[in-house]
Amino acid sequence: MLGPYQANKDRTISYKGNKLFSPIKDISNIKPLTEEFENRLLSLNKDKMWTAIAKINHTINLSSNKYFDKIGAIFTALPLTTRMISSPGAFYGKGLINYTTDTCPIVLKWFDLSEVAFLSESSQIYLELALVQQEINQVYSIYNSFRKEVADSTHLSEFHHIEYEGKISQEENEKIALGLIQEIIFDLLNKNLTDLQQFLSNEKIEELKIFSQNIQSVKKITFKEALNILYKDTNDSRYLNFSMQDFGAWEEIRLTEILNGMVCVREFPLLEVPFYHDKVIGKEPLVANNADFIWPGYREVIGSGHRIESETYLNEKAKIFNLPIEDYMPYLHSRKIDKYSPTSGFGLGWERILHGLLEMPFIWSASQFPRIDSTLKL
C-alpha cells in the first residue's frame, strides 16, 4: 500500500522506507536535530534529492493554478496578519474545549496597537469574505500558514496551504478536493517521472497511477463508523467514546491499513472541530458537515467542510467558542450581505501531500526550508 508509515499493534508507528531512506522501527518520539538544519545549505547543494523536490514543488504549483483556473476559481491575494484566526478554539476556548482540533496561533505585536495580531494559520475566513464580491463564485489561495505547534514527524510550525472556497455543497467540495489531488498526481507522473523515481520504486509508481485513476471512489465513512472499525480491530474501549480525544496519527494510519487505501472521514463531533463548520441536521450526537481525507499509510492531507449559513447559529457558535465578537464582526456580518450564498471549502497541506506521496520519513525531510518550534536555522 502507498504511504510511508505502518501502525503497529503496540501503538508505535514505523517508517517503511523508500529508495533513499531506510526503515525506522518507531518514529513516534524522534525529534528534528538542529544539526540537520544547520547543514541544510550544504545538503541542498550536494544532494540531488533536493533538485527533484524543487521540480516536484514547481509542478504542484503549476498544477494547482491550472486546475483552479479550469474550474473557474479566482486566485485571491490575502493578508498573513489578522485578528480573525480560522481555528480559535484552542486560543480563546481552551478551558471549555481542551482537545479541540483548533490550533494556537503565533502572536505578534502590530505597531502601536494595544491588541495583539496573529499570523494566519489558514486563509479560510478571508476566502469566505472574498466571495461576497459580485460575480465571484469560487476562490483559492496558496499561502504560508503558521501554527504554534511543537514539530513532530508530520507537523511543521510554518507550512503551506492550498485552499479553496466556493458557493457549492459539501458533496461538490469533496469532488473538487479529490480532483485537485488527481490533477497533481497526473501531472507529476507525466512531467516528473524521473524525479519521482528517485524516491519510489516502479511498483509504487504504478500503484500511485492506479490510485489517482480511482481517486473519486475513495472510501467514505463517518467518524462514528471510524471509531467502530477501530474498536473492532483493537477491542480498546477508548473507541467507545464519541470524541476525537483519542483519534490521532496511529488511528488515521491504521484506518487506511484496514480499509486498504485513502479514507474520507466525515461528520466529526461538532464542538471538537473549528467553529465555522455547519452541523448536519437531524444527527445525534451533534456532528459537523465536514470531512478529512487521510492519505494511505499516513495522515490527514485535506480538511474540508460546509460553512454555517445562518447568522443566528453562527453567533451562537461564536459564543460557545468564546470568540471576541468585535474582532470577528466582519465574518459574522458576512451572513447579512445581500444575496449571501452558503459556501464550502477545503485546505490541502502542501508539505503533507509531498511527505506522503514521496514516502519520506519526516515532514522536515520533504521541506527545503523547514520551520519548526526549536530552531530558525537556515
pTM, two decimals, is 0.95
Q: Are strands 219-222 and 263-266 parallel, antiparallel or unpaired?
A: parallel
Q: What is the pLDDT of residue 374?
A: 86
Q: Indicate if the pLDDT at residue 290 is higher than 70.
A: yes
More confident residue, 179 or 34: 179
Q: What is the pLDDT of residue 194?
A: 98
Q: What is the pLDDT of residue 97?
A: 40
- The C-alpha cell that represents 126 in the structure block: 478571508
Q: What is the pLDDT of residue 102?
A: 54
> Would you give the distance in Å from CA 164 to the centre of its chain?
12
* C-alpha to C-alpha distance for 89 and 311, rounded to whole angstroms: 19
Taking CA atoms, 323 is separated from 90, 195, 206, 235, 347, in Å, by: 11, 46, 48, 39, 22
Q: What is the pLDDT of residue 92?
A: 45
pLDDT tens per residue, range 126-175: 999 999 999 999 999 999 999 988 889 999 999 999 999 999 999 999 99
* C-alpha to C-alpha distance for 99 and 96, rounded to whole angstroms: 9
Phi, psi of 347 (to 5 degrees): -130, 130
Q: Indicate if the pLDDT at residue 50 is higher than 70.
A: yes
Average pLDDT, the chain: 93
Q: What is the pLDDT of residue 89?
A: 55
Q: Which amino acid is at 131?
A: L
In the chain, domain spans: 5-365
How much is the average pLDDT of 325-349? 94
- The C-alpha cell that represents 35 in the structure block: 544539526
Q: What is the pLDDT of residue 156?
A: 94
pLDDT band, very low/low/confident/very high, at 103 (cuts 50, 70, 90): low
Q: Indicate if the pLDDT at residue 112 is higher than 50.
A: yes
Q: Return the exposure string of 347-362: e unless at least 16 CB atoms fall within 10 Å of the residue's CB, then b.
A: bbbbbbbbbbbbbbbb
pLDDT tens per residue, range 179-201: 999 999 999 999 999 999 999 99
3-state secondary structure 327-366: CCHHHHHHHHCCCCCCCEEEEEEHHHHHHHHHCCCCHHHC
Phi, psi of 26 (to 5 degrees): -150, 115
- The C-alpha cell that represents 56 in the structure block: 516536484
- The C-alpha cell that represents 85 in the structure block: 484566526
Q: What is the pLDDT of residue 304?
A: 98
How much is the average pLDDT of 341-369? 97
How much is the average pLDDT of 213-225? 97
Q: What is the pLDDT of residue 377?
A: 80
pLDDT band, very low/low/confident/very high, at 376 (cuts 50, 70, 90): confident
pLDDT band, very low/low/confident/very high, at 94 (cuts 50, 70, 90): very low
Mean pLDDT check: name the lowest of 85-89, 286-290, 352-356.
85-89
Taking CA atoms, 22 is separated from 14, 50, 60, 207, in Å, by: 11, 18, 26, 20
* C-alpha to C-alpha distance for 143 and 6, rounded to whole angstroms: 31
Taking CA atoms, 28 is separated from 5, 6, 353, in Å, by: 11, 11, 19
pLDDT band, very low/low/confident/very high, at 378 (cuts 50, 70, 90): confident
Q: Indicate if the pLDDT at residue 308 is higher than 60.
A: yes
How much is the average pLDDT of 21-26? 98
* C-alpha to C-alpha distance for 337 and 44, rounded to whole angstroms: 50
- Strand, helix or coil for residue 89: helix
Domain 5-365 indexed as CATH 3.30.930.10: yes
* C-alpha to C-alpha distance for 248 and 325, rounded to whole angstroms: 31
Residue 133 burial by CB count (10 A; 0-12/13-18/19+): exposed, middle or buried?
exposed
**Closest to 356 in 3D by CA, of 311, 290, 301:** 301
Locate the DSSP E strands across 237-335: 263-266, 290-294, 300-306
More confident residue, 86 or 124: 124
The sheet carrying 81-82 orders its strands as 81-82, 116-119, 106-109
Element (H, E) at 46: helix 40-46
* C-alpha to C-alpha distance for 306 and 174, rounded to whole angstroms: 10
* C-alpha to C-alpha distance for 54 and 48, rounded to whole angstroms: 10
pLDDT tens per residue, range 228-274: 999 999 999 999 999 999 999 999 999 999 999 999 999 999 988 98
How much is the average pLDDT of 17-27? 97
Q: Which amino acid is at 244?
A: M
